[in-house]
């Protein structure tokens, strides 16, 4: 019984790892509701444009997402996620 549970856990971990590779990394940062304004969306687009100039495959590079988030923080936003 212990081996069955171990095999099940290992199988689920392998499936999660494989499906994770197929997804695009990154996400849309969330800010406080008071800051979720049209200006925030404009700033998001401007930061993404800056990042895409530096990183050709920006949406697939972790460092590009870090740079994107840092750009928003530099503009004065406090990110919640």
pTM of the model: 0.60
Separation between Cα atoms, residue 71 and residue 47, nearest integer Å: 6
Residue 31 φ then ψ, to 5°:
-120, 175
| 3-state secondary structure (DSSP) of residue 5 | helix
Per residue in 25-81, pLDDT (tens digit) is 556 777 777 777 899 989 999 998 998 888 877 677 778 888 989 999 999 988 887
Residue 75 φ then ψ, to 5°:
-85, 0
Per residue in 63-77, pLDDT (tens digit) is 888 898 999 999 998
């Amino acid at each position: 019984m212990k081996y069955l549970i171990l095999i099940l856990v290992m199988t689920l971990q392998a499936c999660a790892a494989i499906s994770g590779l197929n997804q695009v990394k990154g996400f849309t940062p969330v800010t406080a509701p008071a800051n979720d304004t049209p200006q925030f969306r404009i700033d998001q687009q401007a930061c993404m444009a800056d990042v895409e100039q530096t990183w050709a495959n920006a949406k697939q590079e972790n460092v590009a997402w870090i740079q994107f988030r840092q750009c928003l923080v530099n503009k004065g936003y406090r990110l919640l996620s």
